[in-house]
Copies of this chain bind each other. A is one copy, B any other.
Amino acid sequence: MAGNSLGTQFRITTWGESHGPAVGVVIDGCPAGIELDEKKIQKRLDKRRVGQSAITSQRQEPDEARILSGVFEGKTTGAPIQIEIENKDADSSSYDKIKNVFRPGHADFTYIKKYGIRDHRGGGRSSARETACRVAGGAVAREFLKTQGIYVFAHTVQVSHIKATKFDASVIEKNDVRCADEVAAKKMVERILEVRKDGDSVGGIIEVRGIGVPAGLGEPVFDKINADLAKALMSINAVKGVEIGSGFSAVELTGSEHNDPMRIRGAKPAFLTNHSGGIDGGISNGNKIVARIALKPTPSILKEQQTLDINEKETTITVEGRHDPCVVPRAVPVAEAMMLVTLADHLLRNRSAKV
């Protein structure tokens, strides 16, 4: 099976290299009748765009989305939706120097091993530029989910050793790291500037939430909604871990502490806690879906590192170019997109559950 598609009934297929003429996404299986235009997609792409703030890469890409198919008179038609984003500020010159050397922590070595050939310009297919297409696909999923009362958002909960300790949704988009804790946000930005000055980088943790998700989504025993979320989120560049609900902290709890008690609240079934992250037995339970991802520090750093060249000779490398010292803030809309696509897919799949 070819590997550039995600989802089954609602399926996105991304294509394009960092420094090729364009990148894009085909969304197949989007139901007909959803209101969609380029502004709705652009709004989301703008959140992932480079050059937004002092802490991101200074590459200038307008990232303009163009819808080429699947929408007629402002509505989806059921036909595949092609969204295309031109690459405008692709500067391959800084990559020429390192085209024959494997950047540590990057996919250079593994792409050569797998394919025997590699588009080295800007990381080619393995570049995070590909995630713009995920965001575009997620924006379409978002419009579909909106019609079903479902909403998804993400926020940064940790950068380096600095953790958010408060949650104020209204401040997320007001700071450069997309953190719901203003005080922590400031420290996170400081920490990022500090490592950048040092020619280094840091990682972080993002939390994604799905609000208004009805009970019933997920297809046991393999396509459980947590399993499909884990896959979608783990497929994001730099992600090293995925948690649902209590995640790794579940390990130190007992069953009596961890099980979410059920009561009736507002005449409806409710869970008094949400250690499950909104999922029991691989199926959504009606509570908030909560997932967290750990992102490693950006591998592109100015410090000299030990590596090999393509002839497998030992050498060292210093990665120049315009890199983010911390990919976490720009990965926030990508993480949202992955949950959006997964929920859209499972919402459609669940339509087959009963006769």
Contacts and interface: CB of A to CB of B under 8 A. Distances in A.
A25 B269 CA distance: 36
Interface in A95-123: 102, 104-107, 109-111, 113-119
Contact of A79 (B31, B119, B262): B119
Contacts of A47: none
A60 interface: no
B243 A109 contact: no
A114 B68 contact: no
Contacts of A200: 254-256
B9 A251 contact: no
A316 B181 CA distance: 38
B221 A231 contact: no
A126 interface: yes
Given A34-B355, A79-B119, A353-B78, A1 B264 contact: no
Copy tally for this chain in the complex stands at: 4
B352 A9 contact: yes
A231 B17 CA distance: 26
Interface in A212-271: 215-224, 226-235, 237, 239-248, 250-264, 269
Contact of A245 (B80, B216, B240): B240
A295 B258 CA distance: 11
A215 B110 contact: yes
Contacts of A228: 231
A57 interface: no
A16 interface: yes
A295 B355 contact: no
Contacts of A3: 28-29, 218-224, 349
